[in-house]
Homo-oligomer: A and B are copies of this chain.
Amino acid sequence: MEEWINQLQRNGYKLTRPRRLLLEYLESMERPFTADELYHELSRSGIGRATVFRALKLFLELDILVRVHLEEGCQHYQASPGFPGDDHHHDRIICRSCGDIQLLDQCPMRDDVSTIAHRSGYRLQGHHLDLYGICSRCDQKTHGLDAEE
């Protein structure tokens, strides 16, 4: 939160009431959310739709937010896993059932990436790894339907 506010001001953006409220919401939201959710939540405080979208865009640029990419589309956003300027490097594990997102603290790509870069002739800037599956909680729930009771 403090970090985010610094990140804003360091880049010459003002800390306004709407932005503060948005950041507070971000901090409290662990799960991915849509722009619309965000708007409906904050419109009660008088924040306009345009402002929400403007802030989303800004926060993405400042690495305060990241998009959550699902096969259905990417209308979901989430507070950025790493701290700002984190080299655009997001490794996550996502539950297809409940939407839970775990961040991978240790990047599984460490050695491989440079090898790949070399072979492909690319100058790599970052990567984005999403693992998809079912979290243990959901897994148990599903099995419960058959086995239990």
- Asked whether A43 is an interface residue with its Cβ less than 8 Å from the other chain, the reply is no
Chain A residues within 8 Å of chain B by Cβ, number:
37
Is the Cβ of B131 less than 8 Å from the Cβ of A102? Answer: no
With A60-B71, A74-B73, A130-B127 known to touch, is A121 a contact of B108 (CB < 8 Å)? no
Using CB atoms and an 8 Å cutoff, list the residues of chain A in contact with chain B: 60, 67, 69, 71, 73-74, 88, 93, 95-96, 102, 104, 108-109, 112-113, 115-117, 120-136, 139
Please give, as numbers and ranges, the residues of chain B lying within 8 Å of A126 by CB-CB distance.
131-133
Q: How many subunits of this chain does the assembly comprise?
A: 2
Please give, as numbers and ranges, the residues of chain B lying within 8 Å of A60 by CB-CB distance.
71
Is the Cβ of B108 less than 8 Å from the Cβ of A93? Answer: no
- Cα-based distance from A121 to B131 in the complex (angstroms): 13
